[in-house]
Structure 1
Amino acid sequence: MHVAVVMGSDSDLPVMKKAFAILDNFGVSYDAALASAHRTPEKLSRFVADEEKKGASVFIAGAGMAAALPGVVASLTTKPVVGVPLSGAKLDGMDALLSIVQMPSGMPVATVAID
């Protein structure tokens, strides 16, 4: 199994390292990238396409605040997407959690707990 992990900012890395540790523990191969849905959409699109070619089974997308990243990733693939809402904004992650949980119908995004 191969997993693709993406986050919108390097400030997301401390939390997303927890996902790396779990993937390592289970012997799951993964690639990780910093690619913002807002600032670097072309890079994000290329990352998703490249990871699909590598056989990624699932995408993990860590995002804070408006948390657009998981939904944008889901718009670029038919693979499952797991959204990780990240704290740090004024609402301490609740804004990201609600953004990911309330994806429009047809957007295959699962949501986990904040951080």
Structure 2
Amino acid sequence: MDFVSIIMGSKSDWSIVSECIEIFKQFDVKYEVIISSAHRSPDRTREYVQESEKKGAQVFIAAAGMAAHLAGAIASQTCKPVIGVPLNGGALDGLDALLSTVQMPAGMPVGTVAIGKAGVINAAYLAMQILSLKNNELGSKLAEDRIMKAKKLEIDSKQIEVRI
């Protein structure tokens, strides 16, 4: 069974990570979610990644703030795609997490999205795009979603448009 594995660094990340889960529910995408840390529970992280891959995890989403080494720790344990979501917090309000997530050594990629809510939403969509390479039905749902977003934009614009 193909699914997306979502790993967040701490319980305080739940308010943002739950946005990703809502999107997966809308698209009927299977997922797992746990809390694990690259620093506080490295053995748990490693074991979970290995177990998840055996169960069918096709994409990993790692959401973490501050030092944000979680995505890199996951990438070191799998050749499946890893999407890193840097989260707000700390003295630099997410910039530190962004830099920690995006600055991976050559040959150890982590796809990195925006900081915070927009990032976690884009991580969900990017994971689904990856899954759609083998799932045409999901690809069709994503295409329909794009059409609906464009239509909504036109409706919103008509409510405020002023043209000469």
Query: What range describes the TM-score normalised by the shorter chain of this pair?
Result: over 0.9
CA drift of 1:36 comes to 0.6
How far apart, CA to CA, are the structure 1 residues paired with 2:24 and 2:106? Answer: 29
2:73 alignment partner AA: V
Corresponding pairs, count? 115
After the TM superposition, which segments of 4 or more aligned residues of structure 1 sit over 3 Å from their partners? Answer: none
SS in 2 for 1:57: strand
What secondary structure sits across from 2:45 in the alignment? helix
| 1:85 paired residue number | 86
> Unmatched 5+ residue regions in structure 2?
117-164
1:3-38 Cα offsets, whole Å, 9 max, x none, are 000011101111111111111111110111111111
1:1-115 aligned within 5 A: 1-115=2-116
Segments of 5+ residues of structure 1 without an aligned counterpart are: none
The amino acid of 1:66's aligned partner reads A
**Larger radius of gyration, structure 1 or 2?**
2
TM-score by length of 1: 0.96
More strand by share: 1
Cα distance in 1 for residues equivalent to 2:16 and 2:48: 20
Instruction: Flag the structure with higher helix content.
Output: 2
- Distance of 2:32 and 2:73 partners within structure 1: 18
Question: Aligned-pair distance for 1:69?
Answer: 0.2
TM, length-normalised to structure 2? 0.68
Q: Which moved more, 1:67-76 or 1:38-47?
A: 38-47
Distance 1:92 1:22 in 2: 25
C-alpha separation in 2, matches of 1:40 and 1:16: 19
CA distance in 2, matches of 1:104, 1:14: 30
- Listed one character per residue, the Cα deviations across residues 16-64 of structure 1 (whole Å, up to 9, x for unaligned) are 1111111111111011111111111111111101110111110000010
Q: Deviations over 1:55-111 (max 9, x none)?
A: 111000001011100000000000000000000111110110111111111112001
Q: Secondary structure at the match of 1:76?
A: coil
User: Partners of 1:31 and 1:8 in 2: how far apart?
Assistant: 14
Identity %: 55
Q: Distance in 2 between matches of 1:38 and 1:99?
A: 14
